[in-house]
């Protein structure tokens, strides 16, 4: 998921090697910005980890450090949410490789009335929420809102 864009709720680690005061663990707030030493408020929601590394590297290079070594890693992805015809609807921790079927299993499985052919995901793409009709074998992403619709007999 190297092209994965950071979103509010993700928890990341920023490490500047040899600079303990510039290293931190942070859960990204809804506003999308963090207050970083020497650089102030920086917007990182919507960026990849590589883009955040470059942003911090460029901000620290020269005035503060000669050649900073910056590493940004994921600690926790933001949760996904599942509702509708599952036994325990709610929010669950995202883990890479989750399909709709696996997400439903985490939520206690499908109810007897679940339609496995009528699944909708609301996913935020570039700040806009989009509604997608998906199959139960499709992969989900952090922050997705999955709705398992009811089937009609």
Asked if residue 47 lies in contact with residue 55, where contact means CB atoms within 8 angstroms, the answer is yes
pLDDT band with cut points at 50, 70 and 90 for residue 44: very high
Domains along the chain with CATH numbers: 10-76 (3.30.1950.10), 79-148 (3.10.560.10)
What is the pLDDT, as a whole number, of residue 62?
Answer: 85
Is 0.95 topped by the overall pTM? no
Report the range of poorest mean pLDDT among 65-69, 79-83, 103-107.
65-69
pLDDT band with cut points at 50, 70 and 90 for residue 49: very high
pLDDT band with cut points at 50, 70 and 90 for residue 2: low
pLDDT band with cut points at 50, 70 and 90 for residue 60: very high
Neighbouring C-alpha atoms within 13 Å toward the C-beta of 1: 17
Q: Look up residue 78 and give its DSSP letter.
A: P
List own/partner pairs for 62-71 with CB under 8 A and 24 or more apart: 63/38, 64/38, 65/16, 65/19, 68/16, 68/17, 68/19, 68/22, 69/16, 69/17, 69/18, 70/14, 70/15, 70/16, 71/13, 71/14, 71/15, 71/17
Mean pLDDT of 31-53: 93
């Amino acid at each position: 998921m190297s092209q994965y864009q950071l979103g509010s709720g993700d928890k990341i680690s920023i490490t500047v090697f040899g600079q303990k005061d510039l290293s931190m663990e942070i859960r990204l707030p809804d506003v999308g910005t963090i207050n970083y030493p020497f650089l102030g408020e920086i917007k990182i929601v919507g960026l990849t980890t590589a883009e955040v590394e470059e942003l911090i590297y460029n901000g620290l290079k020269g005035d503060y450090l000669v050649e900073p070594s910056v590493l940004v890693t994921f600690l926790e992805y933001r949760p996904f949410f599942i509702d509708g015809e599952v036994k325990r609807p709610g929010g669950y921790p995202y883990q890479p490789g989750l399909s709709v079927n696996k997400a439903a299993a985490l939520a206690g499985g499908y109810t007897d009335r679940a339609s496995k052919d009528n699944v909708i995901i609301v996913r935020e793409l570039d700040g806009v929420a989009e509604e997608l009709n998906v199959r139960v074998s499709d992969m989900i992403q952090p922050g997705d809102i999955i709705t398992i619709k009811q089937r009609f007999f």
